[in-house]
Structure 1
Amino acid sequence: MAPSEPQDPRPRARTFRQSSATVSGIVIFTVCAIFAISAVPPFFDGTGGAGSVLLPLGVACLVWVVLLRPCVKLNAEGVELRNVVRNVLVSWSAVDLVEARWTLAVVTKEGREFKSFAISAQRPKRGQVPDAGVGTKVLGSFTPASPDHLDHRSGSAGAVAERLRSLIEQYDRGVKDGVVEQVEPRTEVRPAYLAIAVSVAAVALIVVSIVL
């Protein structure tokens, strides 16, 4: 029997968004696109104004910037927080603490804290409660939920924080075993130029649509 291959300790790329914001963004974006497309023929035949086309386009741009673009990305380099107008990349070796009280927050070993606009805290749900004993049934509706029996909702700050902590432990084990090359801790804060440009364009479109 051939020996099993060791598990790759490098974190796999994954993107986290909260479903409520994503669904809302997709719905609003789609409605705006429909309104904009339906307003194009009246605009060209002279029965409709330019504002009926520009306004939904501007709103759709804002929706992309605020609801659809922000996310948390995990990859082999570290954790990337994509917020409204800036991106923050923190390497795995630079992460000191992960918090999830109000929103997902990453604290570096230098003491710098970066919060995610996309991932907020949500009320946990009751998990699987074990039997109290033979012949005894625990009624979930009457039994107070222990913190050990609470499950974080998918995409919440608590769930993503747990995943982050697990990947940090996985990275540290890989470095200790010599499987993963240790890199220098680094934190990169960069403006999200595309998001900034789209935001400016969205405001311009909305203003022009109102003036027209």
Structure 2
Amino acid sequence: MDSVEFRYRPRFGLVLTVVVAVLCVVGLVLTLTTDGFNTALRTLPWLLLISGAAWAVFWRPEVKVDDGGVRLVNVLRTVDLPWPSIVRVDTKWALALVTRYGKFTAWAAPTSSRVSGREISTRDLDAMPESTFEAGKSIRPGDSPHAPSGAVAMVIRRHWEALQRAGYLDQPQLEFARPPVRWHLRTFAVGGALVLWGLLAAVFG
């Protein structure tokens, strides 16, 4: 059985992050030239906070798939879900993995509102893994390979089904009672520090 190595991060997230950062720089320059250094200094932490929030929300989130399982990097935390824990892949509102630990949604792979079932071709249907289809061979618009949720779900389902056919998931055993979770403490710390800086600058600036 072939190994898998896949990483998804939406391109529009990078574009939005860059646009927000550029607007913040422009705002800082305009404030500096029109209102002076002190006002710009009081504005700086809030602009940095906005830029950082854009990075955390739009660019940092990703989905990584490898032989060990699926890693969901979301805004506030990263969750590692091993293959034996996965029960079902859902795409109703966004890519979501239903596991023996519970249900976990991928921030990086939403269901696109621009994609409809009519845009799914016969070639698309033929390429989809069997677990994509619901009763009556129907699929959701979120399963379309043209939607972020569907594109990532297809990669996960293919490897998941391959593991099932090979017998690796016949008697699934979980190494952990809970999935490994890593909270993004640095994001919390930097955000809190910027808020504190902004409040202090407003009071004593």
TM-score higher than 0.5: yes
How far did 1:174 drift? 5.2
Runs of 4+ in 1 over 4 A off after TM superposition: 33-36, 38-42, 173-176, 182-186, 208-211
1:129: how far off? 5.8
Work out whether residues 58 and 206 of structure 1, in 8 Å CA contact, stay in contact via their aligned partners in 2.
Answer: no
CA distance 1:117–1:127, change in 2 (3 Å) = closer
Whole-angstrom distance in 1 between the partners of 2:10 and 2:180: 24
The RMSD of aligned alpha carbons is 3.4
Q: Partner of 2:7: helix, strand, or coil?
A: strand
**Pairwise CA distance, 1:116:** 1.7
> Looking at CA atoms only, which structure, 1 or 2, has the larger radius of gyration?
1
Judged with a 3 Å threshold, the aligned counterparts in structure 2 of structure 1 residues 147 and 94 are, in CA distance, closer, same or farther, namely closer
> Could you tell me which residue of structure 1 aligns to residue 37 of structure 2?
48
**Letter paired with 1:58:** L
Whole-Å separation in 2 of the counterparts to 1:62 and 1:194: 13
Deviations 1:31-83 (A, max 9, x none): 324555x48987xxx94121243332221111112221122111221111111
1:87 Cα deviation from its structure 2 partner: 1.1
Equivalent positions of 1:67-86 (< 5 A) are 67-86=58-77
Q: 1:205 to 1:172 in 2, by over 3 A?
A: farther
Q: Which residue of 1 aligns with 2:132?
A: none
State the identity as a percent: 24
The match for 2:110 is: 120
The separation in 2 between residues aligned to 1:58 and 1:20, in whole angstroms, is: 20
Map 1:4-23 onto structure 2 (within 5 A). Answer: 9-12=2-5, 14-23=6-15
**Structure 1 residues 161, 200: closer, same or farther in 2, change over 3 A?**
same
Structure 1 unmatched ranges of 5 or more? 1-7, 131-145, 177-181
Give the TM-score, by structure 2 length: 0.69
Q: Structure 1 length normalisation: TM-score? A: 0.67
**SS, match of residue 180 in structure 2:** strand
Amino acid paired to 1:48: F
Structure 2: gaps spanning 5 or more residues: 124-136
CA distance in 2, matches of 1:78, 1:194: 25
Structure 2 counterpart of 1:31, which letter? L
Match of 2:51 among 47, 50, 60: 60
Structure 1 residue 200, shift from structure 2 partner: 2.0
> Structure 1 residues 66, 121: CA separation in 2 closer, same or farther (over 3 Å shift)?
same
Closer, same or farther in 2 for the Cα pair 1:41/1:152, shift >3 Å? same
The 5-angstrom pairing of residues 173-212 of structure 1 reads 173=165, 184-186=174-176, 187-208=179-200, 210-211=202-203, 212=205
SS in 1 for 2:64: strand
Contact 2:46 2:195 survives alignment (8 Å)? no
Question: How far did residue 209 of structure 1 move?
Answer: 5.3
Query: Aligned to 1:31, what secondary structure does the other structure show?
Result: helix
Aligned residues: 179
| Greater percentage in helix | 2
Give the distance between the partners of 1:191 and 1:66, measured in 2 at CA. Answer: 15
